[in-house]
Amino acid sequence: MADSGFHCFAPDWIGFGFSDKPQPGYGFDYTEKEFHEEFEKLLEVLGVTSPFFLVVQGFLVGSYGLTWTLKNPSKISKLAILNTPLTVSSPIPGLFQQLRIPFFGEFTSHNAVMAERFIEAGSAYVLKLEKADVYRLPYLASSGPGFAKLCCNTHIVAPEGSVYRILEHAFGGHAVHLIFWISQGVVPFHLNLII
């Protein structure tokens, strides 16, 4: 993409990938507000001052990227949404739903072998072993990634204002270009597909 004139950054959200993973309750609780604040700080450090093309991805914190966009539309020139639910009725992979089950969620989210299962749950593909090893690494070092995943999942579906409800209200009725693989299953709403 750099050869095409783009200057790209692909940071891991706090608590995910190889970023810091603070334990909830000790300075970072994985709330929407905190993710927005940290994203603002990142943009400031990177010197991003003009509207930019934002790509969000994922079932959990990808949604926070979208809610930040809704609050800061003048900072975005274009938006790409990859594998992020836009409606309350969007099918959430069963593995993410299981995180809400008491005790089971806590155990599952800290299991290093489950790291790649969460990636696979949001995709139609099975990870190759060498790629799965990369996703597994942070889980082998600490329980931080599990706490992050569990916390984010809890906040996003919190009844006091489900992030998915906010996104459905904001994006419903707007023209959206959808790009998806046929093997990814059903899109939970009517769409006119132009090929």
Q: Which letter, b or e, does each residue of 39-67 get, where b requires 16 or more Cβ atoms within 10 Å of its Cβ? A: beeebeeeeeeeebebebebbbbbbbbbb
In a domain, 167, yes or no: yes
CA distance 102 to 95: 14
Looking at residue 157, its pLDDT comes to: 60
In a domain, 110, yes or no: yes
In a domain, 99, yes or no: yes
Domain count, the chain: 1
CA distance 58 to 84: 5
Residues of the chain where predicted confidence (pLDDT) is lower than 70:
91-96, 108-127, 143, 153-161, 173-195
In a domain, 39, yes or no: yes
Looking at residue 171, its pLDDT comes to: 77
Specify the residue for token string 């299991």: 111
Looking at residue 47, its pLDDT comes to: 94
In a domain, 191, yes or no: no
Alpha-carbon dihedral 65, 70, 71, 77, rounded to 10 degrees? 80
The secondary structure of the chain, three-state, reads CHHHCCCCCCCCCCCCCCCCCCCCCCCCCCCHHHHHHHHHHHHHHHCCCCCEEEEEECCCCHHHHHHHHHHCHHHEEEEEEECCCCCCCCCCCHHHHHCCCCCHHHHHHCCHHHHHHHHHHCCCCCCCHHHHHHHHHHHHHCCHHHHHHHHHHHHHCCCCCCHHHHHHHHHCCCCCCCCCCHHHCCCCCCCCCCC
CATH number of the domain that residue 85 is part of: 3.40.50.1820
In a domain, 139, yes or no: yes
User: Each residue of 131-165: pLDDT tens digit?
Assistant: 777 777 777 777 677 777 777 766 666 554 577 77
Looking at residue 24, its pLDDT comes to: 77
Looking at residue 193, its pLDDT comes to: 43
Looking at residue 23, its pLDDT comes to: 75
Looking at residue 190, its pLDDT comes to: 46
Looking at residue 191, its pLDDT comes to: 47
Domain span at residue 137?
2-184
In a domain, 101, yes or no: yes
In a domain, 195, yes or no: no
